[in-house]
Amino acid sequence: MKIFIDTSDVTLLQKYMLDKRIHGITTNPALMKKVGITSYRNFATIVLGLANGKPVSFEVVADEFDEMERQARLLSSWSENIYVKLPITNTKGESTVPLIKKLESLKLNITAVMTMQQIDELQPVLSPNHILSVFAGRIADTGRDPSYIMKHARLCKAQLLWASAREVLNVSQAEECGCDIITLTPDLIDKLSLHGKSLTEYSLDTVKMFFNDGKGVSL
């Protein structure tokens, strides 16, 4: 399973793209806003340079389907390793499936997918040239186990991506569900060193941390 870093922070990308475990980059408008991106083209040029040919996902920033299509074709034209992110619906809840069908020859990343119905509607128009981003972390935020939805999504022809990971455990869960890709934020990539760590050792490390942090406190 491949790990894609999920950030729009160029400084962090400069650091983490040197990590051989990272196979691609995903961005989105919220992450771009967080770091103050205003020129999409300039931002994309920098990110593509750091990606060095690895897959990069850039999302459209439109709500009307005609403009989504224009932006998708433009983004795709910037580089062969770009996957254009299209949301599963626009802000009115109208499905983008017809647009996905129209753009099926492009490398697409269908994002914000969370329901079985959405997956079923997508299945006829997806291909191995596409990424299906199921937001497992947000599904889990609602108290639901995302695993059954991910396993259902595995029936699609697209590359299956476990999105919005919340903890290192999600890496094992994504592998068990047959995901091709998982997106991790930089802080979760840092935590990968804990994967499989002895719990006895981790417990002792925690005790030592509390003890050291308590130094200088008088009772």
Q: How many domains does the chain have?
A: 1
Q: For each of the chain's 219 residues, which pLDDT tens digit applies?
A: 999 999 999 999 999 999 999 999 999 999 999 999 999 999 999 999 999 999 999 999 999 999 999 999 999 999 999 999 999 999 999 999 999 999 999 999 999 999 999 999 999 999 999 999 999 999 999 999 999 999 999 999 999 999 999 999 999 999 999 999 999 999 999 999 999 999 999 999 999 999 999 998 998
In a domain, 144, yes or no: yes
In a domain, 211, yes or no: no
Rounded Cα–Cα distance for residues 37 and 34 (Å):
8
Distance spanning both ends of the chain, measured CA to CA:
51
In a domain, 212, yes or no: no
In a domain, 200, yes or no: no
Query: Which residues share a beta bridge with 86?
Result: 110
CB contact at 8 A, 37 and 8:
yes
For the chain, what is the HEC assignment?
CEEEEECCCHHHHHHHCCCCCEEEEECCHHHHHHCCCCCHHHHHHHHHHHHCCCCEEEECCCCCHHHHHHHHHHHHHCCCCEEEEEECECCCCCECHHHHHHCCCCCEEEEEECCHHHHHHHHHHCCCCEEEEECHHHHHHCCCCCHHHHHHHCCCCCEEEECCCCCCHHHHHHHHCCCCEEEECHHHHHHHHHCCCCHHHHHHHHHHHHHHHHCCCCC
pLDDT at 91: 98
Q: Which domain holds residue 44?
A: 2-194
pLDDT at 76: 98
pLDDT at 213: 95
pLDDT at 106: 98
Tell me, what CATH number does 10's domain have?
A: 3.20.20.70
In a domain, 201, yes or no: no
The tokens describing 31, both together, are 């992450």
Q: How many CB atoms lie within 10 A of CB 153?
A: 28
Sign of CA dihedral 142, 12, 161, 158: positive
Pick the closest to residue 50 from 14, 26, 80, 89 (CA basis). Answer: 14
pLDDT at 182: 98
In a domain, 203, yes or no: no
In a domain, 214, yes or no: no
pLDDT at 43: 98
In a domain, 43, yes or no: yes
pLDDT at 80: 98
In degrees, rounded to 5, the angle at the alpha carbon of residue 59 between the alpha carbons of residues 56 and 63 is: 170
Say which residues have a Cβ less than 8 Å from residue 123's Cβ, sequence separation at least 6.
Answer: 155, 156, 157
